[in-house]
Amino acid sequence: QVQLQASGPGLVKPSETLSLTCTVSGYSINNGYYWGWIRQPPGKGLEWIANVFRSGNTYFNPSLKSRVTISVDTSKNQFSLRLRSVTAADTAVYYCARENGDNAFDYWGQGTLVTVAS
Amino acid sequence: QSALTQPRSVSGSPGQSVTISCTGTSSDVGLYNYVSWYQQHPGKAPKVIIHDVTERPSGVPDRFSGSKSGNTASLTISGLQTEDEADYFCCSYADRYTPHWMFGGGTKLTVL
């Protein structure tokens, strides 16, 4: 069974960098598929952030691209997100997920709430 | 880029059918058959229920069906059950300027 677990600080100060890591179990990232981050502000809708492939190939939400770095560590079966210069608007539950060959996100982590506040 | 447009809420009684629309543009929903739908219960992660406009993943009841006409995709839930009460989000691939995924704003389904 494929499982994803996001981890990282739950509180980040404004203007600082949000860093999250997703650990994948039950499936090797080296076997393929894109892996991504999606966020959901409290009480609001979903927003896709970025995806990364095992090779390091990436693609981004155009509205966030200038602040986002996404990377993969196949040796640890993990991928990571960095979001720079955060503001209160970046407060959200951050999900990591797998984009499968059926053009959908089929496996999701449980989500981790990140609050931006001083 | 703007999110795909969904109604904020829909409702129906058990046994009835409801349809949720998802309107995009000719650069996303209208151009690609890469529309997916997600069901999200409170406090839970989303779950994919439709992919590639009409396809149901294994284990998803056939009460859930998807379709598309022009720039609008639709999710129909027939034979409503109380456990269908949840938020539903559509998602489409787009490549205006750069390839990316777009989500709809979400629709709250209430089963009366």
Would you call A60 an interface residue with chain B, using a CB distance cutoff of 8 Å? yes
Does residue B93 sit at the A interface (CB-CB below 8 Å)?
yes
- Average pLDDT (B94-111) is 92
CB B66 within 8 A of CB B11: no
A84 token code pair = 């720079």
Tokens 């999900």 belong to A95
The yes-or-no verdict on residue B1 having pLDDT over 80 is: no
Find, in chain A, the residue whose alpha carbon is nearest to that of B51: A104
pLDDT of B44-94, one tens digit each? 999 999 999 999 999 999 999 999 999 999 999 999 999 999 999 999 999
Smallest CA–CA separation between A62 and chain B, in Å? 7
Alpha carbon A55 to its chain's center = 17
Tell me how far apart the terminal alpha carbons of chain B are, to the nearest angstrom: 35
- Tokens 């406009």 found at: B53
* 8 Å CB contact of A105 and B91: yes
Is A110 touching B (CB cutoff 8 A)?
A: yes
Task: Show residues of chain A in contact with B55, CB under 8 Å.
Answer: 102
Positions of E strands within A8-56: 11-12, 18-25, 34-40, 47-52
Tens digit of pLDDT at every position of chain A (118 positions):
999 999 999 999 999 999 999 999 999 999 989 999 999 999 999 999 999 999 989 999 999 999 999 999 999 999 999 999 999 999 999 999 999 988 999 999 999 999 999 9
